[in-house]
Amino acid sequence: MQKLTANGTQIAFERSGSGTPIVLMHGFPLDHSMWDGLLPQLQDADVIAPDLRGFGESAVVDGAYSIEDMADDVIGLLDALKIEKAALVGHSMGGYIALAAARKYAGRIASLGLVATQALADAPERKAGRYATAEQVGAQGSVVVADAMAPKLSANPEHIARLRELILRQPPAGVMGALSAMAERPDSTGILPTLGFPVVIVHGLADLLIPPDRSQEMKTSIPRATLLEIPNAGHMPMWDAPVEVGKALKDGLLS
Ligand code: MLT
């Protein structure tokens, strides 16, 4: 992987292909490699897939940070690569970061992909649950989230073992940092009507973590949005239906 300092943080990223820049932001508690299955379809784009701070080979940052800080890292990465505008695609937590970037850096965004995500903030009980999980991760490690999440992420049980391994590789401090960043994220519904660029929304109808109606609601508020709903896909539609997801992102964000 390549590494650069972005927003004062060392960020590792994979870069492949050439053409319109597209940044793929992974979900929690994963890393850039979750996007690998889409790369064959995105060869005509300049694909940049970072490990977000605290994950994969990127730096683990001490102390509390926010989803906005994580968006600052991604825009800092574009600055370091001298890319003025890019398509931003976020999966779940990566979607929270994409919406934070849209709030702060709309001029840097050519188009937006929101995959299995939502604009709403956490309800109080969800927020409390995140802090309880962070405490458990502090005591027992990333195995806590690997055991809890790996069976629920994909609609295909054959993916569980690979997801578990992927989560177990993530540093506990990064997992805890992201849990608190997600717990404190603001509601982004207010910015949806202001988004002036094309937005592709993708949601698996068998998603066990974020209900598909969160995407239907976003679609009604965003002026230039398309929504792809995939019947047999779970929270990882890019694993459960890579061809459909790759085509929707390519057609909607890069043409
Ligand atoms: C994710 O997949 O990034 C997380 O499930 C998002 C969340 O916990 O809200």
Per-residue pLDDT tens over the stretch 200-213: 999 999 999 999 99
**pLDDT 10s digits, 32-55:** 999 999 999 999 999 999 999 999
Backbone φ and ψ of 231, nearest 5°: -55, -45
pLDDT for residue 188: 98
For residue 92 and ligand 1, the question of a CB distance below 6 A is answered with yes
Q: How far apart are CA 184 and CA 194, in angstroms?
A: 23
Provide the residue count of the chain.
255
pLDDT at 255 over 80: no
- The mean per-residue pLDDT over the stretch 185-204 comes to 98
For residue 204 and ligand 1, the question of a CB distance below 6 A is answered with no
Q: Which atom of ligand 1 is nearest to the CA of 27?
A: 3
Q: What mean pLDDT value characterizes the chain? A: 97
pLDDT at 185 over 90: yes
**18: its two tokens:** 């050439």
Percentage above 90 pLDDT, the chain: 100
For residue 209 and ligand 1, the question of a CB distance below 6 A is answered with yes
Residue 34: closest CA among 76, 92, 82, 80: 92
Q: How far apart are CA 60 and CA 83, in angstroms?
A: 25
CATH architecture of the domain with residue range 2-121+186-253: 3-Layer(aba) Sandwich (3.40)
For residue 178 and ligand 1, the question of a CB distance below 6 A is answered with no
pLDDT for residue 7: 97
**pLDDT 10s digits, 103-153:** 999 999 999 999 999 999 999 999 999 999 999 999 999 999 999 999 999
Task: Give the pTM.
Answer: 0.98
Q: Does residue 193 have a cis peptide bond before it, meaning omega lies within 30 degrees of 0?
A: no
CA neighbours within 13 Å on the CB side: how many for 57?
Answer: 12
**pLDDT 10s digits, 62-88:** 999 999 999 999 999 999 999 999 999
Distance 93 CA to ligand 1 centre (A): 5
